[in-house]
Amino acid sequence: MNTSVHANFHALGLSEALLKDLADAGFASPTPIQEQAIPPALAGRDVIGCAQTGTGKTAAFVIPIVERLAALPKGQPQALILAPTRELALQTLTTIDKLGRSRRISATVIVGGADMEAHVRGLRQRPDIGIGTPGRLLDHMWNGTIVLSSMKILVLDEADRMLDMGFAPQINQILDALPEERQTLLFSATLPTDLARLVQANVKNPVRVMVAPSATTADGVTQGIHYTSHGEKPDLLLSLLKADQDTALVFTRTKHRADRLGRMLGSEGHRVAVLHGDRSLSQRRAALEGFRRGSFRVLVATDIAARGIDVANIGHVINFDLPNCPEDYVHRIGRTARMKTTGRATSFVTGEDRQQLRDIERLLGHAVPLAPGSRTSLPVIHGEDSRAHRDEHSAPSRSRFASRHRRPNPRGDHAEPSSRNASPAIRA
């Protein structure tokens, strides 16, 4: 066993079996969120953990769950992990498989895009942990294929994102079905007002772990903006990808733009995959695994689909479109420079993005510098380029980019949670 791993994690009170699995999985030392959240979670306390993307939040709750469940009788699910997206649920399953190997901790995933019967078969194996997205989990509750009365531990992972995606009614119904006497672990990048109400109503005397403010970006990220126009964006992207051979994660606002961009990059000879909410589960898995293995150098994604991306050594995050929400900027660029590595984040800014840029800089508390090679001011918006931008949200784009490819009517990613007996808001 790696003696440094043993010493660093041993101080948290972990078993020898788990220390071995941590070493085998390549965990060198606990991150700040792990170091502060694991001890109270091991003691059975409720925990609220707030930390930026890429700080090790998944292991911060998987480690204490593995230890606590190893001491409990087998035969029924005793921990439930709720996640906003399929990708994040699958990533959590991977972490459990690695860290629960010696203790024989089993888990099954219950997410949209997979066959309901496959979920039922997984549940019949009586796993220790269920990992699900709220809508699909609620479907199984209504069908009677899962019962939550035996749950000892609840995890709300990326809780702010689940509320942003409209899952508040589903979460309320799931909470009502869980035992009152349980441990609740809530992890989030931000703590907005609606999440604070959820905490007040459902979390008991929690230990609060605030590792970094939500506006904090990783130290190793070099940020830069390119002033450009909509028509110039595709060529600018191609030039950035040509300038180095780093793996690149490219963000767009809409699913349709992601598809168009993927086709364009593929036609230019790039090894590219596309990830968004309309892709099937098998397609999303293939895209992520191919990107993780290096089969694809470029991954084009929307915010919702990318929430579960945990890929080491992403060299460059490119915001082809700025996000509508400034907090999403922090989440996006947090996909590079993970675990004390370095990386770049480049954002394309058009004349219509002025307000989004101001909001981002206000959140960060500083200006984002110009990237090398950028023009020093925004181009004058006129004529065709301006009309293309206005039409981007309601009709096929007339930009040079869109003219090279088919132009479906763009829509943003959206969640489709179950609405049965749904209340409109988180209960206070």
Q: Which strands form 107-110's sheet, in the order they lie side by side?
A: 107-110, 129-132, 79-82, 153-157, 183-188, 47-50, 207-210
DSSP label at 262?
H
Q: Helix, strand or coil for residue 171? A: helix
Q: How far apart are CA 138 and CA 170, in angstroms?
A: 7
Q: Please state the rounded mean pLDDT for residues 53-74.
A: 91
What is the mean pLDDT of the segment spanning 232-257?
93
Distance CA 189, CA 360 (A): 16
What pLDDT is stored for residue 219 in this prediction? Answer: 67
Residues of the chain with CATH 3.40.50.300: 3-210, 221-403
Q: Comparing C-alpha atoms, which of 142, 143, 20, 172 is closest to residue 82? A: 172
Please report, rounded to a whole number, the percentage of residues in the chain having pLDDT higher than 90.
51
More confident residue, 348 or 6: 348
Instruction: Answer whether 0.85 is exceeded by the pTM.
Output: no
Task: Read off the pLDDT of each residue in 136-140 and give the average, rounded to a whole number.
Answer: 94
Q: What angle do CA 60, 187, 42 make, to 5 degrees?
A: 40
Phi, psi of 172 (to 5 degrees): -60, -45
pLDDT band at 215 (very low <50, low <70, confident <90, very high): low
Residue 379: Cβ-neighbour burial (10 angstroms; 0-12, 13-18, 19+): middle
Owner of token pair 């191919």? 290
Mean pLDDT, the chain, rounded, equals 83
- Residue 388 pLDDT grade (very low, low, confident, very high; cuts 50, 70, 90): very low
How many other C-beta atoms are found inside a 10 Å radius of the C-beta of residue 44?
A: 12
- In single-letter form, the type of residue at position 210 comes to M
Higher pLDDT, 331 or 162: 162
CATH 3.40.50.300 fits domain 3-210? yes
What per-residue confidence (pLDDT) applies to 305? 60
Whole-number Cα distances in Å, 156 to 101, 232, 275, 280, 357: 23, 41, 23, 24, 30
Question: Could you tell me which CATH class the domain 221-403 is placed in?
Answer: alpha beta
Query: Of the given ranges (24-33, 52-61, 99-108), which has the lowest mean pLDDT?
Result: 52-61
pLDDT bucket at 417, cuts 50 / 70 / 90: very low
Which one-letter DSSP state was computed for residue 336? S
CA distance 107 to 62: 11
Nearest Cα residue to 56 out of 16, 28, 14: 28
Task: Give the per-residue pLDDT at 405.
Answer: 39
Cα distance between residue 110 and residue 131, in whole Å: 6
Residue 118's CB: how many other CB atoms inside 10 A?
13
Contact 189, 53 (CB under 8 A): yes
pLDDT digits (tens, 9 = 90+) for 303-335: 866 665 667 778 899 999 998 888 788 878 877
Q: How confident is the model at residue 67 (pLDDT cuts 50, 70, 90)?
A: very high
Q: How many CA atoms lie within 13 A of 177 on its CB side?
A: 18
